[in-house]
Structure 1
């Protein structure tokens, strides 16, 4: 009886018809030099070929360090060999690597979501064991695991923000295709089998790869927002983005990727002749710094030559730098597909899903009854740097002008509840029953997503826990006096009836005069607004022009 084994299976793209077109430049060089063993067989599919890369035994690098201290050590030598088996079956070519043979595969020639699609068409969505995911809204990458199979929804996977990258699970007992499956680019399959049986297994895997059965399960979420892994498509998207920037279209803006709670004072660009500083991170500023050199802008420039840096109000924090590509936020339509970029990664969007998110975003925007207080712009003594006051400075001025209570950086502690420390809001408008959160700049996807979640969470705590409301009242009495505290107590009541959670975003308008936030932050806003409205809060988004 065959032993239980695990093989990794790759599917080669349909337009690749020859074994000679499968490998990296390094592998091809070795093959041309005769520095590999090549053997053919007819015992696996229509035809099969093994490429064995045998290496010369060498001493490991760490042995020299040990010899400096210890005497009489043996002359240890490692021999790291690998192989790739390529076979044709059912008009397609498949690859099975051994050891580190996968490093020799040219990833522009393989289907990058083959394993993932086979798995989601093979597993029941209540038998998922492990999911690798990337949460775009919070820039969190992680792995959710369970020692037992669970329903997909039990992992807390939001249909929009959590993109399934790799899934592992156990197949149904009635399915003799495999015992366990893991899918990403490669399909890892575990069952009792021999290598010669992989042709039939590959044939069934191809059927499941081409199936759309997953659309009837919770796995359909991957069609909402899908990461692009195909290298040829990625190159095309990068090139289209460059041409769009050069043409002056407003498809893209610039953002600071990653996470930072600190106030940014100035932005600048690296890799260019000019060294000016700007208060806003704008595409127009980048184009202006390029000047006539914009005609020679290319993909290499936005990926590695040109960058953005930020200087912070906190002098203890050094400059943060990142590439122009990593700073891009926006979308393109290429060959009928809608693609968005965030923090240097491209994603394909379901158009109906995007329209739903955009529609909700527009309904949440409220205009000001009169012109709002603007942030104060500061210019350095030499006139080369232009920046804005900090959020705290701005919030204090707003509180003084509008008769609000500034609670920015005022932490409430409620020992009796889980996670008992939280910031209620930045500004509290007691008379108009508004819980106001303020954020400078609408360009940071991860920061804005956290901003919306933070506002939703504080409202939930205040709504749910009477002791949290009492702590808030006491804090207001400390900050603004007893009269304000008594007014707040009366206004809050037992249920915060009639209160609105408002998000104020201070930023420069887009070229057409409108305001926008990154798409993935719009998803978070949509979801948190639903939660807040479910708690009977009003929800509003207002923009303050810089």
Structure 2
């Protein structure tokens, strides 16, 4: 073993690729040092440039005379190098790329195995020895997050949602004092971090690095992570950009955008949670003469007047015009607003907020079966009136619907301040006092709106069940002049029903939820069923308002 501890950061190259296929630049343009036979170190010569912060902040350049030439005092430089090593493991050859400096930027993103490091760490470390996770939450508005523990723990300590989170990376530790981990500690060191790459600090150098590469490869091929409770990570996989798979999906998306018959599962929706009361209308690019009540591919195509494509959507802006003035409340690219569900080469994929995901077939089947079970067995018994143009918005509909339910209270927009992470809570939109139904209603407009709807019902129910202070605040809100009711909760919450009402889009007899809205809904129903005191149901509300193109005609 090396006497010095080195940071080793390496990737497993895909089996079908050779050295000529893995670099972004042509291999002939790279410098190379043959360190020894079978060890080729490719690098970009170090480029020294003036540090950009000098002119950005000081509006000048600091120079000094060295010999007969003037030189910048402050410079930036970067070193990029990748050691390529081919190793034979169980009779098969495998190629590894060991990166130094910013060498990983030299590699093509589709040249290496995407989960090599992640699986290596999960298979090597104890499931309760995790220190950090990197995840992608794909419910509603997708977001990337990293969470770190002050001491080692298990996946439950990170609050992972096994259906809505994609595990991208993990950091774990090994304890050399434990007999079962002593040998692994000699190989991998104390701390291992894995994503696409595996990064460790251990006593390896060029003399013995083959041993590390072989051990890491073997670790990445194991299935121990399944028995450690991480089998859920195989349900969904992020497709990285600048890969062949990503390019194929973009090409198929282009084909479907240009074929009207294939647009049933390609649609536009706002890509984030918005305050609909602040939105007057939507328009595309700078064309305020054509305004719409919502975003859709049909209206977009009418305005653009040419066949749609991925590149066109990326260059097209969607504006949400503010309700109180000639300014925008929100602006996105049309591609950000694009959602798609695609079957390609026998697999299911979904596009959410510019990201592609591959879905495992059993995950798709299980999700659809659970969703159909909800539709078949948990429909609301409330007779919801259709949404019509006269309602104008959700508040108008909720007020009208409340009047049709005996002894009901309209709680729409009657927010309750409750501090902490919840801040302002909407108890429900309509409270059916007699039948103890908490009705939550939203107009359908993509997964982010549905995510908010489902979360609103769950959070309210949890607080009502567990927090006496929140119950008191609800009682006070009900008695306030703007509600004008009178209700007191029993000490024990029981017999209540959470009702989710989704208002369809105009001229849409049936509604097909986005795949991850189905996942989210299944998750919510399961959690509510496990809460004492509650039932849960769902309703899809007809929308008989006209599908308007020009909102200004109403003025």
**TM-score bucket (shorter structure):** 0.7 to 0.9
2: CA distance, partners of 1:532 / 1:100: 48
Structure-2 change in CA distance of 1:504 and 1:358 (3 Å): same
Partners of 1:309 and 1:320 within 8 A in 2: yes
Q: How many residues align?
A: 513
2:112 aligned with 1:110: yes
Q: Which residue of 2 aligns with 1:38?
A: 32
In the TM superposition, residue 421 of structure 1 has moved relative to its aligned partner by 4.9
1: CA distance, partners of 2:205 / 2:463: 58
SS at match of 2:362: helix
In the TM superposition, residue 418 of structure 1 has moved relative to its aligned partner by 8.7
Equivalent position to 1:518, from 514, 527, 540: 514
In the TM superposition, residue 75 of structure 1 has moved relative to its aligned partner by 3.0
Partners of 2:267 and 2:340 within 8 A in 1: yes
Partners of 2:386 and 2:542 within 8 A in 1: no
SS at match of 1:325: coil
Q: Which residue of 2 aligns with 1:283?
A: 297
Partners of 1:405 and 1:480 within 8 A in 2: no
The superposition leaves residues 84-128 of structure 1 with CA deviations (integer Å, 9 ceiling, x where unpaired) of: 211222222211121122222122322222222222222222111
Structure-2 change in CA distance of 1:187 and 1:69 (3 Å): closer
In the TM superposition, residue 9 of structure 1 has moved relative to its aligned partner by 0.4
Structure-2 change in CA distance of 1:141 and 1:78 (3 Å): closer
2: CA distance, partners of 1:453 / 1:229: 29
307-316 or 532-541, larger mean C-alpha shift: 307-316
Q: Which residue of 2 aligns with 1:381?
A: none
Q: How does 1:425-440 map to 2 (within 5 A)?
A: 425-440=428-443
SS at match of 1:435: strand
2: CA distance, partners of 1:98 / 1:129: 24
Partners of 1:414 and 1:468 within 8 A in 2: yes
In the TM superposition, residue 274 of structure 1 has moved relative to its aligned partner by 9.9
2:8 aligned with 1:3: no
1: CA distance, partners of 2:46 / 2:424: 58
Q: RMSD of aligned C-alpha atoms? A: 3.0
Equivalent position to 1:530, from 526, 530, 533: 526
Q: How does 1:40-439 map to 2 (within 5 A)?
A: 40-42=34-36, 47-64=38-55, 66=58, 68=60, 75-90=73-88, 91-138=93-140, 139-171=142-174, 172-175=181-184, 176-179=186-189, 180-229=191-240, 231-247=243-259, 248-249=261-262, 250-263=264-277, 264-270=279-285, 276-289=290-303, 293-294=306-307, 297-302=308-313, 304-313=314-323, 315=325, 318-365=328-375, 366=379, 370=383, 372-376=385-389, 389-403=392-406, 404-413=408-417, 421-439=424-442
Q: Which residue of 2 aligns with 1:449?
A: 451
The superposition leaves residues 473-515 of structure 1 with CA deviations (integer Å, 9 ceiling, x where unpaired) of: 3322224777x41xx43xx54434322111112231786x321
The superposition leaves residues 259-297 of structure 1 with CA deviations (integer Å, 9 ceiling, x where unpaired) of: 3234444233349x9963222333343455556x32xx4
2: CA distance, partners of 1:197 / 1:259: 53
In the TM superposition, residue 63 of structure 1 has moved relative to its aligned partner by 3.6
The superposition leaves residues 203-232 of structure 1 with CA deviations (integer Å, 9 ceiling, x where unpaired) of: 222222233332222221211222112611
Partners of 1:436 and 1:502 within 8 A in 2: yes
1: CA distance, partners of 2:222 / 2:483: 66
Partners of 1:262 and 1:313 within 8 A in 2: no
Structure-2 change in CA distance of 1:204 and 1:507 (3 Å): same
Unaligned runs of 5+ residues in structure 1 are 378-387
If the length of structure 1 is used for normalisation, what is the TM-score?
0.85
Partners of 1:532 and 1:538 within 8 A in 2: yes
2: CA distance, partners of 1:326 / 1:371: 33
Partners of 1:134 and 1:140 within 8 A in 2: yes
Structure-2 change in CA distance of 1:514 and 1:107 (3 Å): same
Q: Which residue of 1 aligns with 2:546?
A: none
SS at match of 1:517: coil
Q: Which residue of 2 aligns with 1:384?
A: none
Q: How does 1:430-509 map to 2 (within 5 A)?
A: 430-443=433-446, 445-479=447-481, 484-485=485-486, 488-489=487-488, 492-508=489-505
SS at match of 2:319: strand
SS at match of 1:55: strand
Structure-2 change in CA distance of 1:49 and 1:499 (3 Å): same
In the TM superposition, residue 390 of structure 1 has moved relative to its aligned partner by 3.2
Q: Which residue of 2 aligns with 1:380?
A: none
Partners of 1:37 and 1:51 within 8 A in 2: yes
In the TM superposition, residue 236 of structure 1 has moved relative to its aligned partner by 0.7
Structure-2 change in CA distance of 1:38 and 1:480 (3 Å): closer
1: CA distance, partners of 2:506 / 2:283: 19
Unaligned runs of 5+ residues in structure 2 are 66-71, 175-180, 544-555
If the length of structure 2 is used for normalisation, what is the TM-score?
0.83
The superposition leaves residues 136-166 of structure 1 with CA deviations (integer Å, 9 ceiling, x where unpaired) of: 2253422111132211122111101121111
In the TM superposition, residue 68 of structure 1 has moved relative to its aligned partner by 4.3
